[in-house]
Amino acid sequence: MAAIALERVAQDGMRVRADAGAASFRRQARLEEHLAEARELVRALKAQVAADPSEAKRRSQAAKLRAARAREACIGAALARLPEVAAAKRRNGGKAEDARASTTDADASVMKMGDGGFRPAYNVQFATDCEGQVIVGMDVVTAGSDMAQLAPMVDQVEQRVGKVPEQWLVDGGFPAHEQIDAVAGKTVLYAPVPKNKPAKANDQSQDPPEGPAGAAAEQKAPPAVSEFAPKPGDSAAVAQWRCRMNTDAARELYKDRAATAECVNAQARNRGLLRMPVRGLAKVRCVVRLYALAHNLMRMATLAPQLIGWGTGTSAMTATAV
């Protein structure tokens, strides 16, 4: 017996505060300085541990050495991540030399949060069945943008449950054209089509002159084109997506996205998924997996309690009969 049909899935990302201080982010030059200092401290502590014959003193020095080694490893990890951060800066139009990484949690990234502020965070991705609100896919990424997260999640759900939902709903942060092409043939994508930028007239600072000259000036402005009309560079999948979203049926179906994804995100916030209690991407993913398991157990208790052994005992059957 299946608890969900998995016909329609909504995917969304939520930024969760990382356990890293905003002041722990450093540029390359400062990181290299801190790394040199950390290595020198480790060398000095090693010499002290080897030279001091006192067992109690050795234990104290060994503890300091472990802490120094841990700091050295964290700074090294931050330096190793800088090229990734610099590449993201360049893609977003920033300067690579402004790239910074944290000395306490190298995997954390500074992201724009829901309140408009910028803080160290992780981007938690959930794919949720629209009918039963069961989480069928999850991931944690270090990029603040959702733009590259569609195709990997579709592949994950296919591997996890053995099928791809017929319909996949995402918000406007997901549908990059290459992502639409990647999922074409696997699922039908529903996502808002961005509006075209307004056409620019040659000179809007003054009213056009009257007479033939004014008419000629008005004709210079290109005609408005609907965002739903296929564009010259569109692939077949992108053109179909544009046309699909220009129907009343698609607009009505798309309402399930907010009702599903936003609800699951709100539940996560209400249940304490506000700040990660651990550091490092691997540990953060473990925390999110545990949350998804707990969420699904609570959903199973509502949707199909018999699948988890609830409601099958004598007392439960008696209560149901009454």
**Within 13 Å, how many C-alpha atoms sit on residue 56's CB side?**
0
Indicate the angle between helix axes 55-91 and 28-51, nearest 10 degrees.
170
CA distance 105 to 78: 8
Rounded to the nearest 5 degrees, what angle is found at the Cα of 214, between the Cα atoms of 211 and 220?
A: 145
Q: Is the pLDDT of residue 316 over 50?
A: no
Query: Rounded to the nearest 5°, which phi and psi values hold at 14?
Result: -135, 135
Q: pLDDT band at 44, cuts 50/70/90?
A: confident
Q: Is the pLDDT of residue 169 over 70?
A: yes
CA distance 95 to 77: 21
The total of other beta-carbon atoms located within 10 Å of residue 287's CB is 17
Percent of the chain whose predicted confidence (pLDDT) is above 90 = 58
Are the beta carbons of 149 and 141 closer than 8 angstroms?
yes
Residue that has been written with the tokens 């920033």 in this structure: 94
Q: Given this model, what pLDDT does residue 258 score?
A: 94
Which tokens is 234 given?
A: 């569109």
The tens digit of pLDDT for each residue in 100-120 reads 999 999 999 999 998 889 999
SS3 190: strand
The tens digit of pLDDT for each residue in 48-89 reads 877 766 766 777 878 888 898 988 999 999 999 999 888 888
Q: What residues does each domain of the chain span?
A: 8-19+119-193+228-308, 23-102, 197-227
Let me know if 241 is exposed, middle or buried by CB neighbors in 10 A (0-12, 13-18, 19+): buried
Question: Which pTM value belongs to this model?
Answer: 0.81
Fold assignment, 8-19+119-193+228-308? Nucleotidyltransferase; domain 5 (3.30.420)
The neighbouring-strand residues paired with 270 are none
Mean pLDDT (the chain) is: 86
